[in-house]
Structure 1
Amino acid sequence: MASKTNAGRFFEDYAVGQVIDHAVPRTLGNGERALYHALYPARHALYSSDAFAQSCGLPGSPLDDLIAFHTVFGKTVPDVSLNAVANLGYAQGRWLKPVFAGDTLRSRSEVIGLKQNSNGRTGVVYVRTTGLNQSGDTVLEYVRWVMVRKRDADAPAPETVVPDLPDAIAAADLVIPEGLDFTNYDFDLAGEPHRLGDYAVGETIDHVDGVTIEEAEHMMATRLWQNTAKVHFDTSARPDGSRLIYGGHVISMARALSFNGLANAQMIVGLNGGAHANPCLAGDTVRAWSEVLEIAETPAPGVGAIRLRLVATKGGAPFALRGEDGKYLSDVLLDLDYWALMPT
């Protein structure tokens, strides 16, 4: 009798052009918001207050942009990264529509690239993932690439296809939520007085605060997003017997820490690129710093766009990223390049 259980896909199970509709759709509510704010020190006003969001032209407070990301991402894990060694990077991410309590999200991925590693035991799979709501509208899209084990090391290597991914999304291609208007923005309630014109390209910001990663909180968060990757839960899945902290957990922690200095970078609308530079384990204390990469106008009233590099470290000195050899320093956990919306 054939097995009814799912061992997950291995590298040789993927083909360029393959489309995967992921189970299971998920309806999100304010419970996800409350848990998110319990797990991370998230304080951005637009995601905390209906009244604040309504003063900015929205019908109410959306769910945090990274709740949408983690939910869409989590759907893909059983089909894309259940047998992953590591999630390697992101590109071409765009938030196209806010997600509100009551929305139901599902995910679909297309395989856009394959490259077997020289060791013959693993390969890199590139997928473009789309998050859809109950109306079939795309709320989020992004590309990611992940290193996946082979089932059979002797299986022939597929033809190498590596997608051409631009370094960044042009500001003109960012999608501004319908109705967003920062002309009556309340800086006192938002927590900081700094508007777009107060930041300069090349400026760096030390976000000062740190949070020590706890095993239980990480696993609770990863379950919240229905992420089933073995390396996050099963101590036998890694040679050293440790549980690898989900990279999205580090992203959310760093983004929340960035409030101190970037409280008015309200909405993430673009993900230009990202790398999980080194593994994060329970007991590591995450700190964060940012660098301003670009500043742009948008057609929405009072709304500007700021492109930021967000770096998470486990205790390294702020503003140090790479060594003389060009490689990430061992204390660097995350190097993320994203666009956010900010009042002008």
Structure 2
Amino acid sequence: MTNLTNLFSSIEIEISELNTNLTKMVNAKHPILYSAAEHLLKKKGKKIRPSIIFFIAKITTINKAINSNHARLAEITEIIHTASLVHDDVIDDCDKRRGLDTVHNIFSTKIAVLAGDFLFAQSSWYLANLNNLDVVKIISKVIIDFAEGEVRQGLISFDPTITIEDYIEKSFYKTATLIACSCKATAILSKCSQETQNDLYLYGKHIGLAFQIIDDILDITSNTNTLGKPAGSDLKNGNLTAPIIFALEENKELYQFINNEFYSEKDISKAINIIKNTKGILKAKDLAEEHIQLAIQIIKNKFACENTKLLILTSNYILNRVN
């Protein structure tokens, strides 16, 4: 498995600056709002999204350099992602995120919703200050997609008739749209051709879909300490993901648990064991690998440099998180 530290060593300065700037960017006048926003950024994530932006910036600029607008886009992307997480936690009534108590668990649901709204507003302000209308348009679409995705997900909770096609569409709105649009926005800031912009959008879309599929597998296969949140959260909240959709084809007993809306923790444990004893997880990983390979082909065909290799290694890292 690729070592994350070695993989990101060429952009460690940029990642460090991003972490510093994020705290400054979420500054709020009201102490509770600031505390809530700061708490969201306290536990450092893997920063996969900004890292992808940095690598794409390096392969799309003549001097292979990350400029200030690329760096600001990476920061905006991370703030939007963080804002979506706090709203997700409220909707799913999740107590933990990255091993820490969620904002609504520490403060209140009202404060958590306001903190998420505040972060979306801050990201929009910094986005406007990039002074690039095309970038504003494409990143603004992400926030619209998030809202539509949450509504769609709510409408199909505990629905055993969901298809893989439905799931992929939901996953696009939930995760892939941010990565896809960020990749395209990076190409726009690098003044790439429309063709290259579209290629990188597709790259990001496939990476984003694979990322979500792997996340959904981990919800079944990992424990709370590894995930930083309770295992089986998707089942509890009625989010039927790739592993369970594939498992349903093999073991009809799962329908009973879904119809009972995974009534107890014991039901969730039993359902997880059933899923593990089917080919559901393997088929879900195969689906993620398919999207990873599609993404890699786009990069291989379009670019050829050292940073391309790092981008491909990042893609493979996303897939191998389940190993």
TM over 0.5: no
**Which of the pair is proportionally richer in helix?**
2
**Which of the pair is proportionally richer in strand?**
1
TM superposition score normalised by structure 1: 0.28
